[in-house]
Amino acid sequence: MTLSTPKSTRATGTPISKGFTLIELLVVIAIIAILAA
């Protein structure tokens, strides 16, 4: 599995992951808003 997605393991270690978490939160909130509407 690690060989299939070597980037995912690095993404968690890189500081860029913090930016992705914020984007993921915005995406989740947007999906919830759409579902709620």
Note whether residue 23 is domain-resident. yes
Note whether residue 1 is domain-resident. no
User: Distance between CA atoms of 11 and 18, rounded to whole angstroms?
Assistant: 9
Note whether residue 17 is domain-resident. yes
Mean model confidence pLDDT for the chain: 72
Note whether residue 32 is domain-resident. yes
Give the model's pLDDT for residue 30.
Answer: 95
Give the range of the structural domain holding residue 12, as residue numbers without chain letter. Answer: 6-36
The answer to whether 20 and 27 have CB atoms below 8 angstroms apart is no
∠ CA 3-15-8, rounded to 5°: 20
Domain count for the chain: 1
Q: Could you tell me the maximum CA-CA distance found in the chain, to the nearest angstrom? A: 40
Model pTM above 0.75: no
Per-residue pLDDT band for 35 (boundaries 50, 70, 90) equals very high
